[in-house]
Amino acid sequence: MAENRAVAPPLDLKRVRLDRGLSQTELARRAGISRQALNAIETGVYQPGVQVAIKLARELGESVERLFGSRDEPTLAAAWADDDAARAGTHVALARVGGRLIALNQPPVDLRIAPAAGVLESAHGRRVTVSALRTPEEIDSTLLIAGCDPAVTILADWLRRHRTPVTIVALTRSSRAALAAMLKGRVHIAGVHLRDPKSGAYNDSTALRVSGGSKLVLINFARWELGIATAPGNPMGLSRWQDLARPGLRIVNREPGAGARIALDEALAEHGIDAAAISGYTREVRGHLEVAGAIAAREADCGVTIRVAAEAYGLGFIALREERYDLAMPEPILDSPPVRMMIDALNSDRLRTELAALCAYDTSQTGQVMARPS
């Protein structure tokens, strides 16, 4: 909950600095700003942003509130739901999952400049305080979707353009990591493309097997093509899985648990190819766009990804199989207003047209319930 207590007038920043024996130049250096900017803050010409205020307070051993007075952003208590350690100054996504206020690391640059719902001020174990940049209503209408589909931003943009009071925060995770985060109550929804090697079916049996008895619903987002991205024009003439074993060929790989990594490992096993013999097999990146970006930067010759990522960078692409990408979620949240609005959007012909046109996705099943508890 936001703190509504009365606060004392702010301290004199210049006096505090002098009391600490610091020059303007030294404090500005420590805070990562120019001396001119610090002078403007001390004279009241400029009000620092959250991150600069936190850095100045840390260097002077004071709280942000005592240095700069009551700020417009409320301080909230939240549960830190990221595997990485909580650090002050981290940009975070905020949402309520299962009634708890969740804070998750949201990198400011994730192949895009990402907005953030707040900035982490302090951490005490798994409990954190966050300087919130969103209202309680905006936080309550936020959906956290973990997965690897870069096109989830199109869904988020569609909701924004249609003035739907739902904010989607996309968190890049492998399919298995997304499922794990959802089952731990760290996100609302997990995007998955996991194939059962025995039946060839996607997601149903895999999601149910790892859910530990949780009642999950699978709603289709799209079907896409998975394959090998290459340099423009496919100069090495790649055409099949076995070509990845060519001497001198450098690949870029996804992390364990990613659907693309699982597909590659299954193909290598099927064709008797030793992964250790493939140059770049141990070089791992976190998403489909990262795979394409590494190839575009000539850091690798090829990698397993989806067509939309390859085309985003103007790369060559060899389609090797079609996959179904679903959104997995606990059955109880189906009745929440944000999820209902998201599902309504997925069933919109206009959104399907956008996804098909911009991503070359098959949207014939988009929005359909693919599996639910009986």
Domain 194-374 -> CATH class: alpha beta
Q: Please state the domain extents for the chain.
A: 13-68, 75-137, 194-374
Q: Where are the alpha helices (DSSP H) in the chain?
A: 13-19, 24-31, 35-42, 50-60, 64-68, 136-140, 152-161, 175-183, 204-210, 259-270, 288-296, 307-312, 337-346, 349-359
| Reported confidence tier of residue 35, pLDDT bands at 50, 70, 90 | confident
Q: Which helix (H) or strand (E) holds 218?
A: strand 216-230
pLDDT band at 63 (very low <50, low <70, confident <90, very high): confident
- Predicted confidence (pLDDT) at residue 343 exceeds the cutoff of 90: yes
Instruction: Give residue-wise pLDDT tens across range 72-127.
Output: 556 789 999 988 888 887 878 889 998 899 998 876 545 556 788 999 999 999 99
Answer with the residue of higher pLDDT: 91 or 331: 331
Tens digits of residue pLDDT in 145-197: 999 999 998 999 999 999 889 999 999 999 999 999 999 999 999 999 998 88
**pLDDT value, residue 321:** 92
Q: What is the pLDDT of residue 5?
A: 38
At residue 373, does pLDDT exceed 50? yes
pLDDT of 137 reads 92
Q: What is the pLDDT of residues 252-273, one digit of tens each?
A: 999 999 999 999 999 999 999 9
Q: Which two tokens stand for residue 20?
A: 């600490």
Average pLDDT estimate for 5-18: 71
Lowest mean pLDDT among 31-40, 149-158, 208-217, 339-348: 208-217
- Under DSSP, is residue 279 helix (H, G, I), strand (E, B) or coil? strand
pTM attached to this predicted model: 0.73
pLDDT digits (tens, 9 = 90+) for 224-259: 999 999 999 999 999 999 999 999 999 999 999 999
Architecture of the 13-68 domain: Orthogonal Bundle (1.10)
Which tokens is 229 given?
Answer: 């991205």
**Alpha-carbon distance values, 144 to 81, 90, 102, 156, 295 (Å):** 12, 17, 10, 11, 29
Over residues 267-304, the pLDDT tens digits come to: 999 999 999 999 999 999 989 999 999 999 999 999 99
Query: Do 71 and 10 meet the contact criterion of CB atoms below 8 Å apart?
Result: no
Q: Which residue from 167, 30, 16, 43 is spatially nearest to 94, judged by alpha carbons?
A: 167
Confidence of residue 140 (pLDDT cuts 50, 70, 90): very high
Computed over every residue of the chain, the mean pLDDT equals 87
